[in-house]
Amino acid sequence: MAIVLSVDEGTIPDPHQLCDDIVESLKLIKDAVPSTDSEHFLIKETVLMEWSANSATKAYLDTLKLCGNHKRRYDLWMTKEPGSNEFISALAAGMKAKLIVEVAYGVSPSTVALAAAARQTGGRLVCILPEPVPAESKKVIKDSGLKDIVDFKTGDPSKLLPNYEKIDFSLVDCKNDEYTGLLKLIDVNPRRSVVVANNLVGEKKGLGGHVRCLNDEVVVRSTKHPIGKGMEVTMIGKPNDIEKRDRRSRESSSPPKIRENAMKKTISSSWIVKVDEKSGEEHIYRVPHFI
């Protein structure tokens, strides 16, 4: 895999670090999808059957830039958990989520991250908050160019959350047990959806695979990851669609005849920097070494 970037050094002072962050984020996304047995394989295919790497990458970079800018300008952005916001943004955008719902205590970097994902998918973000949105938070969303994408709803989350059906992607801030209980009120899209429980400190658990109003034809799997302060990702999908895709894949995947030594094994990679003589732009390439 080769990553090619053209950056403005005024905005991205360390492009090498940016490339390393992208690689690390892709690893997080890969690790978030279990794949150790046949059941895990079904879940992996559920989420990735219509995966858009392009949307995921754009959302990731957009989130990285926006949250970085706001972290320097606004004090409330200093609570940012490294890596978690870029991860959820790439995951929501990559699975092409249209209806995204966040339940939180206030506007945070995760709000911007999910809105950035919705911008890539042509969807919308519903942000459910217990208290009115502060003026400073509204300014953050406006300055991000995300005002028309985010729909703020203020009130009791337990009463507001049931108003939304077939949610594609949802994020709940589980700082206390009351909010953890809200996970069971989410009406997920049974065909393909993801529920993220954030801030699961210590032994605290999220859905644990228990999703309401789903029949036996729907596959559900929850896994907890050491992202941020603790994050559980629950993936939901219908196995029938997965099996059809898998069967088509097997039928069309007979190994082609190749010359001996035509396939080479990747063992490492390195960064190559090239400067455009006309524009002065610095282009950085991550190129694999082959043997």
Q: What is the pLDDT of residues 55-76, one digit of tens each?
A: 999 999 999 888 877 655 555 5
pTM across the whole model: 0.69
* 71-101 per-position pLDDT tens digit: 555 555 554 465 789 999 999 999 999 999 9
Phi-psi region of 122 (alpha: psi -120 to 50; beta: other; left: phi over 0): left
The band of 186, judged by pLDDT with boundaries at 50, 70 and 90, is very high
Q: Nearest-CA neighbor of 158 among 181, 176, 174?
A: 181
* 187-214 per-position pLDDT tens digit: 999 889 999 999 888 778 888 878 876 7
Tokens 């989130």 -> residue: 63
- Following DSSP, what letter does each residue of 57-118 receive, concatenated? HHHHHHHHHHHHHHHHH-GGGGGPPTTHHHHHHHHHHHTT-SEEEEE-SS--HHHHHHHHHH
Residues 47, 222 contacting (CB under 8 angstroms): no
> What is the crossing angle of helices 53-73 and 84-94, to 10°?
150
Q: Nearest-CA neighbor of 166 among 123, 200, 104?
A: 123
> What is the crossing angle of helices 84-94 and 15-31, to 10°?
60
Residue partners of 141: CB distance under 8 A and separation at least 6 = 107, 111, 112, 115, 147, 150
The values of phi and psi at residue 141, to 5°, are: -65, -40
